Structure 1
């Protein structure tokens, strides 16, 4: 601002003293600290203006410390026009012009012209060259006002050198403007357009087979800039919160799911159909959690982002394919067994048996394996842009192999819940005691099926909401790029789903094992199953022979033996039949004593 005021004052001073500024000239300010110096050159990792100066010797008008600042301005300008390649023509000439503007050619006065000292003066960029740049790329007009004669003169610039002993033309000295057009026409064939991507975007050569988009690089057309991995939808703090939640819940859910499988499927001596459903559902959840354990064991970024700017793909990253297949196997199996639980619950309430359990087992397993094989054979497992696991990212494959079956399963499960509620309502009209008996017997299965169906319904709605807004997310990437060009990249984020629903989406997938343990793993049935195990029987037997339980007299001995037999019998009960038998034994033992 001070320089501009000084130029205006100088212009008025010269005009008052009888000097009329010729048409096509501007007036310039002499910086006594600036000199004609050699260009320091581009850095090794970032080409800029090397071989783009038309004056021999690369002498530029600069101060000792201003070249680095000029290079930073050139980098910002190159970053901007990198994303204008589909909107502008002749951008290579624009880059020559940008170098000429920020690193202006320099001329030095001879001693006899300015006897006090040599003066270095810049050659301002010619208006004709400025007009060529703006006409070929109108977006540049935002930063360049070609009508300003102080910055873009038509012919040249006058400088007041009277303070340095120059007396001709009232002490004014004319410097012709700089037009790189002729020089550009000579060297353009040997020059190439320089793309620069603002951090954290990375520059890759899309024509190089090593960096093809099918390998997991997400390019931002029309440039060769790729999004960083993971995609910056949220701050690092929020990503860390999401990953920490995943690590903790997946580990807990995995352990508790294995506990349910062990309880209801391995040590259980009498496995009912609901127990089988619990066992298979818990096993499928354990598979989903196992994928998380493998992922954070390797490292989320190491597995999901194996190279800078590249997300993992099945055909190039086998571990991603493995975890993706396990995740799909587990989550699909989980959906199908939740549907099966609803059907088993309904048939239990109706006291009917429509299918054998083996039919469910064969059907669920067959469909799940077919869907996994199709996805794996077509290499559809990948990390994607904003996810924390490998899975199917192709929209139509995901819809056909998972979300349509998921929707059908949700519909069947919902109908079963509605039917069970209807049966309870009909029973309550006949007898309150029958209703209470039905509720006490079926309330827990009803709640768990309702909870699971509701959770999957949320996942279903969230997925299709993302699909509905996906086009908007992609179009808003332009705003993200503008933010990177204009501000601090720490405050710039791509547009994606809101963080809280996104966090809840991954939370829901990982809480099934915990919820199932709360409903089933802590139930009386689970405790009875464990009480039948050899280890606990041995433990109770050791309590019987412990010195602490030794009798003081024969009467107390008989009483304690009888009491111990009763307790052991109760611990071995498995169902209502056993309870009745144990009560008979207890009565008989009391009579004997």
Structure 2
């Protein structure tokens, strides 16, 4: 009996010893935890909802690299706004991204086709019109290439190497090379393209009216190039290229910089271009009414529609931006109310309503920007003149093509080559700069009307 009791005591003792050792190891393992790992767990109750925890050790430096801290009761908290912003759902953000990748690539290829077609690589003869199309296409290619920087990237919650957001709650800024490069390309290409688009509308009106102008193209290209360089690189000095709450990539971050370095210039281009477009439409109406050649209108509907649609896209982007600026205080307020609700411990997360913007308006805005290259291609890339440029280029006139491809010699009709020589001879008009989607029908009608008026006066 005594032997059995001794064995039971030993078993109890060993059991107690094992429990003590296990308890000590548990305490030791808890004390050796990384404090940076345990702290977020302790603060996760404070950063509720989709807010991201980040210790405010150096808030100013963190803000420079893209973190936007939440302010609650006048004090900055250890929570930051999530990336992407809560103004749209994650599904909508990825829809915008995929649309921009597809449409931006198509627009880039359209601009590249125009650039190659009107460049010395294909086109043998140059004038202010072809130079204008070339410069506009170059701007479109640069602006649309900014979308291609996002290939392989997406908005996701894993925040891996292929995420648009570098880390949870971090937005792209000038410190990121990819952000800076894409932002400069978008800004420079946009400004350069808009300026040359304005030149083309002016040039088209001058040709329709038959007004002889000096060759100002060299000076205009130099001026637009200088303006575009200044407007693209000056914002770098103040680290202005960044990713905003409603953008897919990097552009000018400050509303003041956006207004000064882009939207004011765009509004001037819109006003000037709109005036010339109205004058062009008026001239077309007068010409067709006087000449009674209503069949000629059919060939001009497409380019005129393209001009009008492009103008609508410009105006939509401009007024959408103005609406965002006007409602800036409202969007800031609803975002602040949302973060205050999440930070308030007395409220449940389900009570907090996420700030939202109109997904349709945002989609149309992003789409309009990427339709510019496609519109330019329809206007300047699909006409008989482009076909003749390619057929009379080296690429269709070399030994290889002549040996393996049998075709008739396609010489450019002098009557349709950069202006009508017959018209120049009879009417003393200079159309040497003309090469547009209107395919000379309106210009010819205008010249014929002037010639008929001259004859009727005798």
Q: Which of 357, 361, 379 is the matching residue for 1:501?
A: 361
CA contact (8 A) 1:254 1:285 kept: yes
Q: Which runs of 5+ in 2 are unaligned?
A: 1-26, 422-458
Supply the distance in 1 between the matched residues of 2:96 and 2:236 (Cα, whole angstroms): 27
CA contact (8 A) 2:114 2:381 kept: yes
SS of alignment partner, residue 225 of structure 1: strand
Question: Using a 3 Å threshold, how does the CA distance of structure 1 residues 577 and 457 change in structure 2: closer, same or farther?
Answer: closer
Tell me, yes or no, if structure 1 residue 325 matches structure 2 residue 175.
no
Question: Mapping of 1:85-124 within 5 angstroms?
Answer: none
SS of alignment partner, residue 391 of structure 1: strand
Question: Using a 3 Å threshold, how does the CA distance of structure 1 residues 494 and 318 change in structure 2: closer, same or farther?
Answer: same
Supply the distance in 2 between the matched residues of 1:378 and 1:47 (Cα, whole angstroms): 35
Q: Deviations over 1:471-491 (max 9, x none)?
A: 1111112443436862459x9
Q: Which of 384, 391, 403 is the matching residue for 2:244?
A: 384
Tell me, yes or no, if structure 1 residue 568 matches structure 2 residue 408.
yes
SS of alignment partner, residue 237 of structure 1: helix
Q: Deviations over 1:160-206 (max 9, x none)?
A: xxxxxxxxxxxxxxxxxxxxxxxxxxxxxxxxxxxx21142122233
Question: Using a 3 Å threshold, how does the CA distance of structure 1 residues 451 and 543 change in structure 2: closer, same or farther?
Answer: same
CA contact (8 A) 2:129 2:203 kept: yes
Q: Cα distance, 1:261 vs. partner?
A: 0.8
CA contact (8 A) 1:338 1:453 kept: no
Q: Cα distance, 1:252 vs. partner?
A: 1.9
CA contact (8 A) 1:459 1:505 kept: yes
Question: Mapping of 1:352-501 within 5 angstroms?
Answer: 352-354=211-213, 356-433=216-293, 439=297, 444-481=302-339, 482=341, 486-487=348-349, 493-495=354-356, 497-501=357-361
Supply the distance in 2 between the matched residues of 1:347 and 1:297 (Cα, whole angstroms): 46
| Partner in structure 2 of residue 249 of structure 1 | 103
Q: Cα distance, 1:345 vs. partner?
A: 1.3
Higher relative contact order (CA 8 A, sep 6+): 2
Question: Using a 3 Å threshold, how does the CA distance of structure 1 residues 353 and 214 change in structure 2: closer, same or farther?
Answer: farther
| Partner in structure 1 of residue 456 of structure 2 | none
Question: Using a 3 Å threshold, how does the CA distance of structure 1 residues 543 and 478 change in structure 2: closer, same or farther?
Answer: closer
Supply the distance in 1 between the matched residues of 2:230 and 2:295 (Cα, whole angstroms): 43
Runs of 4+ residues deviating >6 angstroms: 40-44
Q: Cα distance, 1:274 vs. partner?
A: 3.0
CA contact (8 A) 1:257 1:514 kept: yes
Q: Cα distance, 1:286 vs. partner?
A: 0.8
Q: Deviations over 1:43-79 (max 9, x none)?
A: 964569xxxxxxxxxxxxxxxxxxxxxx9xx98xx95
Q: Which of 36, 55, 58 is the matching residue for 1:208?
A: 58
Q: Cα distance, 1:290 vs. partner?
A: 1.1
Question: Using a 3 Å threshold, how does the CA distance of structure 1 residues 539 and 466 change in structure 2: closer, same or farther?
Answer: same
Question: Mapping of 1:234-245 within 5 angstroms?
Answer: 234-245=88-99
Supply the distance in 2 between the matched residues of 1:436 and 1:358 (Cα, whole angstroms): 37
SS of alignment partner, residue 362 of structure 2: helix
CA contact (8 A) 1:291 1:323 kept: yes
Supply the distance in 1 between the matched residues of 2:405 and 2:259 (Cα, whole angstroms): 60
Q: Deviations over 1:480-508 (max 9, x none)?
A: 3436862459x96333x300110111111
| Partner in structure 2 of residue 141 of structure 1 | none
Tell me, yes or no, if structure 1 residue 271 matches structure 2 residue 126.
yes
SS of alignment partner, residue 382 of structure 1: strand
Q: Which of 282, 287, 290 is the matching residue for 2:145?
A: 290
Question: Mapping of 1:307-346 within 5 angstroms?
Answer: 307-314=167-174, 316-346=175-205
Supply the distance in 2 between the matched residues of 1:400 and 1:303 (Cα, whole angstroms): 31
Question: Using a 3 Å threshold, how does the CA distance of structure 1 residues 430 and 304 change in structure 2: closer, same or farther?
Answer: same
Q: Deviations over 1:257-279 (max 9, x none)?
A: 11111112230112343332222
Supply the distance in 2 between the matched residues of 1:229 and 1:391 (Cα, whole angstroms): 16
RMSD (Å) for aligned C-alpha atoms: 3.3
Q: Cα distance, 1:465 vs. partner?
A: 0.5
CA contact (8 A) 1:338 1:449 kept: no
Question: Using a 3 Å threshold, how does the CA distance of structure 1 residues 412 and 442 change in structure 2: closer, same or farther?
Answer: farther
SS of alignment partner, residue 267 of structure 1: coil
SS of alignment partner, residue 568 of structure 1: coil
CA contact (8 A) 2:143 2:185 kept: yes
Q: Which of 67, 79, 91 is the matching residue for 1:225?
A: 79
- TM-score where L is the length of structure 1: 0.57
CA contact (8 A) 1:328 1:391 kept: yes
Q: Which of 542, 551, 556 is the matching residue for 2:403?
A: 542
Question: Using a 3 Å threshold, how does the CA distance of structure 1 residues 281 and 443 change in structure 2: closer, same or farther?
Answer: farther
Q: Deviations over 1:285-324 (max 9, x none)?
A: 111121111233566675752232121211x212211111
Supply the distance in 2 between the matched residues of 1:410 and 1:574 (Cα, whole angstroms): 35
Q: Which runs of 5+ in 1 are unaligned?
A: 1-39, 49-70, 80-195, 546-566, 582-593
Question: Using a 3 Å threshold, how does the CA distance of structure 1 residues 46 and 448 change in structure 2: closer, same or farther?
Answer: same
The structure whose Rg is larger is 1
